[in-house]
Amino acid sequence: MSILNSNQLEKLLSDDNFASGNFLRKVISVSDDIDDPLIYLDEPYVSIDDTKYISISLRGLRSLSEEYASFYHEQGIVAKDVVGIYVEDGLDYMIQFLALTSLGAVAAFLNGGLSSDIAALYLEQLNVSGIFTTEKKRGEIKACFKKEASKQMPIWIKGKVTPSKGNFPVVYPFEHSELDPVLLTHTSGTTGIPKAVQSSHFPYLHGVKDRLATPVQNISRFLNSLPHAHSSSIGYIMEATIRGCPIKVQTQKSAEALAKSIETFRPDYVLSFPNLYVDMLRLNLNDYDFSSIFYWRSTGDAAHERHVRIMTQYGSHLAEDGSIQPGSIYIDGMGSTEMGSALFTTLRANDSKDFDRCVGKPADYVDAQILDEHGRIIGEDTVGFLAVKSPSVIQGYWNNTNKTEQSRVSGYWVTGDLAYKDSDGNFYHVDRITDRIETSEGMLYSLQTEELIMKKFDIIFDCSIFKVESELGGETAILKAELMDEDLSEQQTQFLLKEINEWLSLHKVPKLASLSISKKSVIHAPLGVTGKVLKRVLRDQSETQKLSA
């Protein structure tokens, strides 16, 4: 398929009914060739009739999703039913999304890495009408269900679904209203049981349409290594499909697999959460060919400056005079599932000035403010609660009205982040609300302090700061650091901690109570299914160690 020309793209963007629930058929309606390969896979996709695909066209995408749409219709699934999708990472999530939205039903994605007990509790909270999963996961999840009705619900097994008879509802495909739900995805679960985030027909595609209206230059070939059960992954597959850009759906999430896919597929635009990029930096990058890269893009939490500066040494960028120059661009997008898109975006080059966790200005369609604990807008250079109004923001948490209303303050959606705004209107992300540390010396913001430490101490490759209860009351801060290549004795470790605390004192940041270290080849902290550091787990581990000492 050729990349859509400006007239075709304009026709889509000017269509008032073009949104996430119908995007595929709308794209097909304006495309010149729907049989050219569009989606490429690192692992074959196996259809209902056991055909294996390593690439899929627009027509193929529609046909594969219609097979499941017909199947679900024959199983009694109707509009507004919720179906849980709990499989291993891959294109299955996109196919199921397309199939269920064409019926007006709602796919509820669960990351395949989510433990069965959490998955069972989560699905019971959603009151799903059935589950599409694997043979192995079926047995595990059924053993974890608490409700008798859950144990009796339909569970359809990947690879064992009977081909449909090709029947569809009288009205097919379903015509969505603006705020009809199309997808449920869960939060990272860094603070406990994940919440179910409702993406709706128009809001879900809003950020994609905005990116399409203001395109970045030299994007023609995507590589998507985001977790495919995450709303951001589906969003970027939709974007590539709308653009008509070939996209590789990367199922294998190791650093080596990503680096090799970049070499063979030769994308100019790579998508990932920051943690996979950090994993890749643990490799010897000079062993790989990254010359095709123009842009690295991440979403979620802002990336650390240390890591961005290494990555942007590779690849190329387009200079103002139109020439191709060495060094790629890192597009740092700060967003969350609840925001519906990365509402703050900054472009970083290797020669960019100090980042200081600046996430830039919000998108033009976003009203972003910093609120105090009473919901009042506060002034410049004062840390408070980041709050946004945007057409992309979710309608709420599915089956959780209380949590939804707690997140709405003064007409804004409170994101769960702490930030401040400077006199130029730039926003700075300093921490998650749950991770700030109230020490006896004052408030410590863990993400901001990690950034400060890594800017000064080249020996530290990555680090995490978390809180524990102080024996004297209140909270104290602990640092876990991953060193570049060196190993330190206990005496050297204590000396490094002393130097770090002196550096923090210069910046009026409270001191750290202790430091533990690991080498670069050993990830220093546990990660959640979306790659975020689980500081809750670090706290629990620290308390357990203290009790057993």
Q: Is the peptide bond before 163 cis (omega within 30 degrees of 0)?
A: no
Same domain for 490 and 418, yes or no, is: no
Positive or negative, the CA dihedral 387, 391, 397, 399 is positive
Structural element, H or E, at residue 359: strand 358-360
Q: Is the pLDDT of residue 182 over 70?
A: yes
Tokens of 509: 């940041």
pLDDT single digits (tens) 280-294: 999 999 999 999 999
Cα separation, 62 vs 315, whole angstroms: 35
Residue 213's pLDDT band, with cuts at 50, 70 and 90, is: confident
Same domain for 79 and 170, yes or no, is: yes
Q: What is the mean pLDDT of residues 432-458?
A: 95
- DSSP E strand stretches across 29-71: 37-46, 52-57
Q: What is the mean pLDDT of residues 517-525?
A: 73
Q: Is the pLDDT of residue 278 over 50?
A: yes
CATH code of the domain containing 298: 3.40.50.12780
Q: What is the pTM of this model?
A: 0.93
Same domain for 418 and 503, yes or no, is: no
Cα separation, 294 vs 328, whole angstroms: 5
Residue 166 belongs to a domain: yes
CATH code of the domain containing 508: 3.30.300.30
Task: Tell me the three-class secondary structure of 172-229, residue by residue.
Answer: CCCCCCCCCEEEEEECCCCCCCCCEEEEEHHHHHHHHHHHHHCCCCCCCCEEECCCCC
**R_g of the chain, CA atoms, integer Å:** 24
Neighbours of 416 (CB within 10 A): 17
Cα separation, 190 vs 29, whole angstroms: 42
pLDDT single digits (tens) 57-107: 999 999 999 999 999 999 999 999 999 999 999 999 999 999 999 999 999
Contact 82, 132 (CB under 8 A): no
CATH code of the domain containing 89: 3.40.50.980
Same domain for 501 and 414, yes or no, is: no
Domain limit, last residue, from 201, 217, 237? 201
Q: What one-character-per-residue DSSP string does 282-333 give?
A: TS-GGGS--TT-SEEEE-SSPPPHHHHHHHTTSSEEE-TTS-EEES-EEEEE
Cα separation, 316 vs 58, whole angstroms: 30
Residue 45 belongs to a domain: no
Same domain for 393 and 443, yes or no, is: no
Same domain for 494 and 421, yes or no, is: no
Strands 52-57 and 329-335: unpaired
Tokens of 110: 């669960």
Q: How many domains does the chain have?
A: 3
pLDDT single digits (tens) 316-355: 998 888 899 999 999 999 888 899 888 999 999 988 887 8
Residue 63: what pLDDT?
97
Q: Is the pLDDT of residue 387 over 70?
A: yes
Domain limit, last residue, from 186, 201, 216? 201
Neighbours of 489 (CB within 10 A): 8
Residue 422: what pLDDT?
96
Range of the domain at 542: 436-548
